[in-house]
Structures are given as structure tokens and as C-alpha cells.
């Protein structure tokens, strides 16, 4: 069985295409699975996309804050 994952960063979703022709659309709280192709592989769709810190969005960072973010990144 074949399996193709298409990741959609703009919507934060993923599409799963299988060789039997079935297609699934997964959202951030859904789990991406390797099914029979990669047994045991699982990850939450949300983990594929970078987290945006709400407290620093749309404002200038102090030099100290910018350094702290770089060291976490």
C-alpha cells in the first residue's frame, strides 16, 4: 500500500492520499499516522507547524528578548 502526505502550511492541515484512492484531510488536532507503510509512526499535525508566541507578535523586541528567542529556537 502506498501513502502520500501533503502538508498545507497556509491552512495548518495535511492531506493523506492512499493507493486505494482514499483521501483524508487532517486538521491540527488530528494525528498523522504512517499506517501500514511506516508502522508505529505518529505525530500530531500541529507539531508540523511552528508555534507563534502571542506575547511577542506584532511588537518590537528588546535586544535581550531577541537573544532569548534565538537561544530557544
Give the three cell numbers for residue 9: 502550511
**Phi and psi of 14, rounded to 5°?**
-140, 145
pLDDT at 14: 94
Q: Which structural domain range is residue 36 located in? A: 3-72
pLDDT in tens, the chain (73 residues): 799 999 998 888 999 999 999 999 999 999 999 999 999 999 999 988 876 555 555 555 555 555 655 555 4
pLDDT attached to residue 3:
94
Burial bucket for residue 13 (CB in 10 Å: 0-12, 13-18, 19+): middle
| The pLDDT of residue 73 | 44
pTM of the model: 0.65
Q: Could you give the 3-state DSSP secondary structure of residue 20?
A: coil
Q: Looking at the 3D structure of the chain, how many domains does it have?
A: 1
Give the model's pLDDT for residue 42.
94
Amino acid at each position: 500500500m502506498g501513502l502520500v502526505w501533503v502538508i498545507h502550511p497556509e491552512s495548518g492541515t495535511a492531506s493523506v492520499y492512499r493507493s486505494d484512492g482514499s483521501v483524508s484531510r487532517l486538521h491540527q488536532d488530528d494525528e498523522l499516522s504512517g499506517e501500514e507503510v511506516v508502522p508505529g509512526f505518529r505525530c500530531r499535525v500541529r507539531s508540523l507547524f511552528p508555534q507563534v508566541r502571542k506575547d511577542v507578535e506584532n511588537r518590537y523586541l528588546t535586544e535581550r528578548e531577541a537573544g532569548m528567542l534565538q537561544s530557544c529556537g
